Amino acid sequence: MAQTQQLSQAAYDRLKEEHTNLTTAGRIDIARKIETARELGDLSENGDYHAAKEEQGKMEGRIAHLASILENAEIVDEVSGGDTVRAGSIISICYAGDEDSERYLIGSIEERLEDVEVISPTSPLGEALIGARIGETVTYEAPGGTLEVEIVSID
């Protein structure tokens, strides 16, 4: 069973539009590229044909990925502020022993923003942060050992 993806309405709509575009215009475009490349002759040494087929494979993989996300999507309300970390929160955290804070979005990679990295709510750090409040320090197991982070702010 596929994992539920928590998405904002805006992200869901963007992914739905991308899926529709890829399954319609995208497939037509790649079919034309393949047909044009076939007309060039011998397929065994036809770089254009092989490039088009590779592009088609990548596109079909993205279509399948998007279909899975959309099928298992849970639309969540957009979060602004608050004092508890939840999916959709943009937070600033400070690692123990570090003076600089870092900003992250708690959510799906599909929610990504240009100026903020994403932490999955199902990752060890994400699971530790969910439900925590501003000023709290949480610990989690990382591949290099146990780490501590303090929640500095929730935007």
Q: What is the pLDDT of residues 66-79, one digit of tens each?
A: 999 999 988 877 65
Q: What is the pLDDT of residues 89-139, one digit of tens each?
A: 889 999 988 889 999 998 888 877 788 899 988 899 999 999 999 999 999
Q: Which of 46, 75, 104 is the last residue of a domain?
A: 75
Integer Cα distance of 69 and 66 in angstroms: 5
Provide the domain limits for residue 111: 90-154
Closest CA to 150 of 87, 89, 140, 109: 140
- How many CA atoms are closer than 13 Å to the CA of 129, on its beta-carbon side? 33
For 26-30, 64-68, 85-89, 90-94, which range has the lowest pLDDT when averaged over its residues? Answer: 85-89
The reported pTM is 0.73
Mark whether 53 and 105 lie in a shared domain: no
Asked if residue 111 lies in contact with residue 13, where contact means CB atoms within 8 angstroms, the answer is no
The answer to whether residue 17 scores a pLDDT higher than 60 is yes
Asked if residue 116 lies in contact with residue 103, where contact means CB atoms within 8 angstroms, the answer is yes
